[in-house]
Amino acid sequence: MQDYIVRATAVSGKVRAYAARTTALVEELRRRHGTWPVATAALGRTVTAAAMMGAMLKGTERLTVQIRGSGPLGEIVADADAAGYVRGYVREPRVDLPLNAAGKLDVASAVGEGFLHVIKDLGLREPYRGSVPLISGEIGEDFAYYFAVSEQIPSGVGVGVLVEPPDRVKQAGGFIVQLFPGLPEEEVARLEEAIARLPAVTTLLDRGLTPEELLQSMVPDVQLLDRVPVSFRCRCSRERMERVLVALGRDELESLYREQGGAEIHCHFCAEIYRFSREELQRLIERAAEAGEKR
Ligand SMILES: [Zn+2]
């Protein structure tokens, strides 16, 4: 099944809602990075929220989400754009913790205390930056807090990943419901109640609900607008990695040449390894020398 985000609105545009199924995306990230279940859940929740935030952008706009916590996962990073392309990684993918009191993967302990940062490239000279402290480390609540405090848009956020033992991603997805100014109080109360009543997202997806049905079960009179397909894509390339090497400068490259007889660069985002032979490295040393002379 193809992953996608559905965009919707309600109450004459005063409610905007998004729901996503990201199962294939999160499974691909698990395979690429070799994440263990609690890391899969934390990374999967983060990329799912980031993907839906990407669907709030337009054209070539894109965003990066960083969750920097004191827990064993270290940093979680997700990139998403308006076209539905997403990538992400977690600093320490092999983390194992006991289940929490509710018998669930203990994402909060794996993330720890820290901050959620959002950086949006909106094509302006300076990117937009927003940061909030993590309030629970469970990620969905942290995004809700970010929207309320940093963007001043009260929002309900639910994101979830269901891992099937030993480690495969069975379901992943989520929703964001945003309440804009002018929404009557009773509508706010009705939505808050509906969101609070909702079972876990992964439970609903596992029952076979589509993202559309997820929104319909939560937002009364929701009007579905469109779908954005979601997929993994990394922006790295061999050329980009060559530029990274050239930027290291001639001396650094010559020592790689002498000591390792080549170079190997690893992309954090997709875990792809780019290898450069002795001959290729020699050419890059020449390029670096030329660049050095021009300076
Ligand atoms: Zn990459």
Domain ranges of the chain: 4-232, 238-294
The length of the chain is 295
Cα–ligand 1 centroid distance for 283 (angstroms): 23
- Over 70: is that where the pLDDT of 204 sits? yes
Q: What is the model's pLDDT at position 292? A: 80
3-state helix, strand, coil in the chain (%, to 5): 35, 30, 35
Structural domain 4-232, CATH architecture: 3-Layer(bab) Sandwich (3.55)
Cα–ligand 1 centroid distance for 237 (angstroms): 7
Write out pLDDT tens, residues 141-176.
Answer: 999 999 999 999 999 999 999 999 899 999 999 999
Predicted TM-score (pTM) of this structure: 0.95
- Dihedral sign computed on CA atoms, order 213, 141, 145, 20: negative
Write out pLDDT tens, residues 36-52.
Answer: 999 999 999 999 999 99
Cα–ligand 1 centroid distance for 65 (angstroms): 16
Instruction: Give the span between the Cα atoms of 226 and 247, in whole angstroms.
Output: 43
Find the mean pLDDT for residues 6-11: 96
**Amino acid at residue number 289:** A
Tokens of residue 290, six digits: 């030329």
Instruction: Give the span between the Cα atoms of 22 and 215, in whole angstroms.
Output: 15
For residue 275, give the DSSP letter. E
Q: What is the model's pLDDT at position 291? A: 86
Instruction: Give the span between the Cα atoms of 232 and 86, in whole angstroms.
Output: 5
Cα–ligand 1 centroid distance for 86 (angstroms): 11
Homologous superfamily in CATH for domain 238-294: HSP33 redox switch-like (3.90.1280.10)
Cα–ligand 1 centroid distance for 2 (angstroms): 22
